[in-house]
Structure 1
Amino acid sequence: MKFENSEYFKILNPTKLVMPFGTYYLCEKFLIVELDEGVHFDWDKAEQIIKKVFEFYGDDAIIGFISNRINHYSVDPNNWKKVEEKYSLIIASAIVMYNSSTYMNASIEKQFTQKSIKRCLSLKEAIDWMQNLKEFN
């Protein structure tokens, strides 16, 4: 389910950021990402969005990250490690899975980070988990 079609879209009132490779929804404490079909999300794209995240949340941003995987695309799993080493902005991540290949990819990506990555079966599950993180309460 696209975030804009969910009950949370109106509740969270996000700032929508459309990039050439996907759509980002900047909420108060976390962002929701929906990458475009067929994109290869590499380090160059990661740095482009990280710059926008710091512009929106500030230089000392501490946020959560939800990847709403409604489309098929590839991600360089080393991005997770690079983000941790270069920036300290993501405290936890959730990956919303809609098929078994997404589950396998999320399991592989989980090996590349020391931060918590929760694999979720719905956008609701991911948002509820993110909103209840102890770091935000």
Structure 2
Amino acid sequence: MKFENSKYSKLLGYKKVDFPFGTIYITRYFVISELNEGIHVDYTIASELINAFSEDIRKGIKVGYIANRINSYSFEPQLWLDFNNEYDFLVASAIVTYNDFSYLNSSLEKHFFKKSLKRCHSLYEAIEWMSNLNEFSKEFKHE
């Protein structure tokens, strides 16, 4: 399910940013990516995604990241290692998979990401898990 078709798009304020390779939705506590079919996520694409919310990073804001993999694309797992060394703004990550192959790929990625990475079978599961993390749960309950 696409984020804009979910109940959360009506419940959460968000900013939509379109790229030639996909779309990201920036909420107060997490970023959701929905990337295009067949792309290969490399350092260049990852850098463009990060630059979309680099001002928040400079302010020291911590966020979660949800990869809503509604389309099939490839991802360099090494990017998680590079990311771990260069940035410290992610609290956790969730990967929403819609088929067995994508789930297996996310299992490989889990070994490269130093923080918590949850593999989910629905966008609902990912958002609920993210909103219940200790770093965000208190603030979600006050909104």
Give the TM interval when normalised to the shorter protein: over 0.9
Corresponding residue of 1:73: 73
Q: Which AA in structure 2 matches 1:67?
A: A
Gaps of 5+ in 2: 139-143
C-alpha RMSD over aligned residues: 0.9
Scaled by the length of structure 1, the TM-score of the pair is: 0.96
Corresponding residue of 2:35: 35
Aligned residues: 136
On the 8 A contact 2:57/2:89 being kept in 1, the answer is no
Give the whole-Å Cα distance in 2 for the aligned partners of 1:62 and 1:71: 27
Corresponding residue of 1:15: 15
Gaps of 5+ in 1: none
Scaled by the length of structure 2, the TM-score of the pair is: 0.92
1:89 deviates by 1.1
On the 8 A contact 1:39/1:73 being kept in 2, the answer is yes
Give the whole-Å Cα distance in 1 for the aligned partners of 2:37 and 2:19: 13
Give the whole-Å Cα distance in 1 for the aligned partners of 2:34 and 2:129: 18
Secondary structure in structure 2 of the residue aligned to 1:34: strand
1:52 deviates by 1.3
Corresponding residue of 1:123: 123
Secondary structure in structure 1 of the residue aligned to 2:34: strand
Give the fraction of aligned pairs with identical amino acids, expressed as a percent. Answer: 49
Q: Which AA in structure 2 matches 1:25?
A: Y
1:20 deviates by 1.2
1:109 has 2:102 as partner: no
1:58 deviates by 4.2
Corresponding residue of 1:49: 49
1:53 deviates by 1.4
